[in-house]
Amino acid sequence: MSIRIVGLDFRLLNILVYFFLSCAGVVYGAENESSNNSSTLTEVQKKALEKFKAQMMPNLEHEYMKDDFFLMRWLKAKDWKVGDAETMLMKNLQWRKQNRMDSIQEENWTDMMREYPYQIDVVDKQHRPVGTLSAKKWDIRRAVSQGRVPRLQRYMYKMLDELNTKLYETRKNGTNVTQWSAIINADGFGLLKHACPSCIPVWVNFGNSASEHYPGFVESISVINVPRPLIRILRPIFATDSLKIFGSDKGAWMKYLDEKIDKDQRRAEFGGTRVN
């Protein structure tokens, strides 16, 4: 007999909790952008950064990795403990090599983009890159049944890497932003597509990968159209300044998004006027 909570199948509640845990893994510990400037560091932090940079430099293959902006993320994630930050970054470099991250954007992802679409062509009012995604278009169960979970997971790595690449490009063009944000439309998030037992590891892997390999890069994640019965359960647990959870009250989430992102940047499902 299935357990039901406020009219919801327990498995759906379970997977939604895992979903928000994944989001939380990305945004918890997010810093405001002023704290990402090396000129605001204390003397102790400056010395830690210098030591960390000297120790890591021989292992860093790309120019962007040698920037203070990049290196500070790992130190902050480990409370400025150089040894712990070094271990974390070395694991990241190994992960990037194992998953061929340097060439992941060059692979043919046509099938995944068709079945699991997302967009990274929006900027907020502070010129930060914004990723958008509609959950109802992401049939996780289909990937499970077709044996494509490893490909889906790498595709999700591609999405995270693309957001970071967009961030680096924005900075290279002279805009001083240090984080990106995302909007997820949870309308259509349901049992069959998202809540199968084998779907849970997909969400957990995404949350772990984001927090372990892209620490501090997220300004905020906004989730709209969360099923009403779950709002009272999820908000007290997960809602922070960096993780915003909204129900189907369009007026509420429109007001919040209007303050952050111009309407001409947002497509209709996110309350905007953009048509392409």
**Mean pLDDT of the chain, nearest integer:** 86
Contact, 242 vs 30, CB < 8 A? Answer: yes
pLDDT of residue 190: 78
Distance CA 112, CA 131 (A): 16
* CB atoms inside a 10 Å sphere around CB 91: 12
- The values of phi and psi at residue 134, to 5°, are -110, 115
Contact, 191 vs 12, CB < 8 A? Answer: yes
Q: Domains of the chain (ranges plus CATH)?
A: 4-30+113-265 (3.40.525.10), 38-98 (1.10.8.20)
Q: How far apart are the first and last CA of the chain?
A: 46
pLDDT of residue 233: 63
Q: Which two tokens stand for residue 94?
A: 């190994």
Pairing state of beta strands 129-134 and 119-123?
antiparallel
Residues 179, 231, 137, 257: is their CA dihedral positive or negative?
negative
The residue with tokens 């805009």 is 175
- pTM value is 0.86
Task: Give the tens place of pLDDT for each residue, 205-248.
Answer: 888 888 899 988 888 888 899 877 666 666 665 556 677 888 88
